[in-house]
Structures are given as structure tokens and as C-alpha cells.
Amino acid sequence: MTYQEEVKQRFLDSGIVFTEKELASIDYADFGLKRLDSEGLNLIVYENNDRYCAKEMVLLPGQTCPEHRHPPRNGETGKRETFRCRKGNVYLYVEGEATDTIHSKIPTGQEVYYTVMHEVELKAGEQYTIEPDIKHWFQAGNEGAIISEFSSPSDDASDIFTNPNIQRVTK
């Protein structure tokens, strides 16, 4: 099974009903790093307008969305987002007092780019809201994760990643 087929199957196995158009629109974000298995994100965007955004995300086991923040832009506050874990579990890291021992494994050689270590574990049915301009990153547990994101408008090109080599919007 190819990477894309596995991601699509996880969306299909989530219990959420998707249209063929939505499944054809899956964004396999590798952040320009070419390490999709370890640092990547797979998402379907339902709606992203000037008032709100709604997405579904699939993370494969141990897959990590790299550390970033959503800064103010065009005179508006940055994106505020709520993650709701639908299936599996996800470890979310945000600014705050560092957790003594985290569950996640930072991708090899990338440790310098993961600076916030306050761990929030989300199991299926749990949610957490990340305020604007807060550094965060997240990683799926051993079974992978399905996450719904509800947020203010999303502008991926405005995201600021700790790793300067990352490009959120790739060509």
C-alpha cells in the first residue's frame, strides 16, 4: 500500500463520511522536508473563509507536525484553533512548564527545532484550544490519530515554523 493509499484508508476508517471530492483533495504536507513519514501532516479542508476554518487531519503512527505558531497578520490576531481527537491519541506540545518526561520521540536530528515541551495528551473525544501566536507541535501515538480542527481563518503561508528550512506552502 502506498503512503497516499494508507492515508486515504485511515480517513475512510475514521467513521466520518467524506465525499469523493474531499478524498481527492487530501493535502499531503511534507513541509518541504521530504520526510513525510516522520514530519508531515495529511488533511482535508472542509471550509476556510474569512470567519472560520474546519479541517480533518490524519497522522500516521509517530508522525509529527513540526513546531510552529500562528502570528498576527493584516492587523488581525493569529489563528486560534481547537483540536478534537476523533480516533487514536495525539500528544500536543504548547508553551508552558515543561513536562518532565514526554511521550513523543522528536524526529532524529531535529531536536533543536522542538522547543516547547508542555505535553497535553488528547484521547478520542478530548479537545484542546491553542490560542493565537502560541508555539506548538504535535505527534500521533502508536496507532496514529484522526483530529478535527476548528479555527479562525487559516493562512498556512503566514505560519512561522521554528525550523527555518520548512516551507508550509510548497510548489
Overall fold of domain 3-161:
Jelly Rolls (2.60.120)
| Cβ-contact 153, 79 below 8 angstroms | yes
**pLDDT score of 74:** 84
Residues of the chain predicted below pLDDT 70: 169-171
> What is the Cα–Cα distance from 67 to 134, expressed in whole angstroms?
10
**pLDDT score of 169:** 65
The two beta strands, 53-59 and 81-94, are: unpaired
Question: Could you tell me the pTM of the whole model?
Answer: 0.95
Task: Identify the bridge partners of residue 151 per DSSP, sorted by sequence position.
Answer: 53, 81
**pLDDT score of 156:** 84
CA distances from 54 to 8, 48, 61, 164 (A): 18, 7, 23, 27
> What is the Cα–Cα distance from 61 to 47, expressed in whole angstroms?
26
Domain boundaries, the chain: 3-161
**pLDDT score of 170:** 52
